[in-house]
Amino acid sequence: MFNPQLTPEGHLKHLLTIEGLPPAILFQILDRATEFEAVARQEVKKVPHLQGKSIFNLFFEASTRTRTTFEIAAKRLSADVINLNVNSSSQSKGETLLDTVDNLSAMQADMFVVRHAESGAAHLIASHVGPDIHVINAGDGRHAHPTQALLDMYTIRHFKKRFENLRVAIVGDVLHSRVARSQIHALTTLQVPEVRVIGPKTLIPRNVERLGVRVYHDMVQGLKGVDVVIMLRLQNERMNGALLPSRDEYFKYYGLTPAKLAHARSDAIVMHPGPMNRGVEIHSDVADGVQSVILKQVTFGIAVRMAVMSLLAAPMPHSAA
């Protein structure tokens, strides 16, 4: 079956979504990221893999953390990086998305990192650009955020070593979360035997069980015996209508506190894609506690994004270090 993300030989051409990617590609990215993690410990934190390449960060939606980690990753690969805040430039003057891409392609762009409020924007760009240009989806609407899911998988493997014996719980606003969708596809692709989603009925998609997850509406029941707890940000900007009575009520039932976390395994790790709403999704004692690996996720995100970009634009280097 044709996959627009892959070349005819099965190599990664674009990264648009986790859905449909074979496990071998995910493991290839995770293994390459392990090599690149060592670069951060070098005195000179650069390798020449993408020297001479031009990478355009096209962010139609604000995101300091994602854009910054992509920029750091590209610069550590020795690429030339151009950041565009598109909302304040050509788009506000009436230029279409594809017009913007065409103009930047004419400037010899090699790769576009795209974040957009509309689902499918990165797919549209990937289907439009020339054969030598690569596209990475840095988050599109409520659809997908593949590099966030990959850095989460990297974090899980780093601390838990293997995927085959884990119980993972994803907690919160699954309905509006592109991160949750990508995480579910990644976890099931990597053969995690039990993936749970926990949240109020108003924030859990209908028929989400079809994706291979178990649904819990009681957080204590859902957290029993899990190895990994992934908290989701409450997606206020993507909500339509009053889906919650109040933030305080949400925290009471679905905020991660030390008492609720005690129902997970004693060595369970706590993750959050950020930015955190303390006192809404997570108690500060948990966010800053010994089981939290949230800051490590940010650190690992640079290595994972280096891995993705290097595999897209320079697939054959022998070693990262």
- Residue 181, annotated ligand binder? no
State residue 316's pLDDT score: 45
Strand partners, 116: 140
Residue-level pLDDT, tens digit, the chain, 321 residues: 568 999 999 999 999 999 999 999 999 999 999 999 998 888 889 999 999 999 999 998 888 889 999 999 999 999 999 998 776 555 555 568 899 999 999 999 999 999 998 999 999 999 999 999 999 999 999 899 999 999 999 999 999 999 999 999 999 999 999 999 999 999 999 999 999 999 999 999 999 999 999 999 999 999 999 999 999 998 765 455 567 777 888 999 999 999 999 999 999 999 999 889 999 999 999 999 999 999 999 999 999 999 999 999 865 444 444
Task: Give burial (CB, 10 Å; 0-12/13-18/19+) of 1.
Answer: exposed
- Residue 217, annotated ligand binder? no
Question: Quick one: which of 142, 148, 80, 140 has its CA closest to 111?
Answer: 80
State residue 65's pLDDT score: 87
- Residue 158, annotated ligand binder? no
- Residue 7, annotated ligand binder? no
- φ, ψ dihedrals at 313, nearest 5°: -100, -20
- Residue 49, annotated ligand binder? no
- Residue 233, annotated ligand binder? yes
- φ, ψ dihedrals at 215, nearest 5°: -105, 135
State residue 315's pLDDT score: 52
pTM assigned to the model: 0.93
State residue 237's pLDDT score: 58
- Residue 76, annotated ligand binder? no
- Residue 148, annotated ligand binder? yes
Mind listing the domains of the chain with CATH numbers? 23-144+301-313 (3.40.50.1370), 146-298 (3.40.50.1370)
State residue 90's pLDDT score: 52
CA dist 230 and 159 (Å) reads: 14
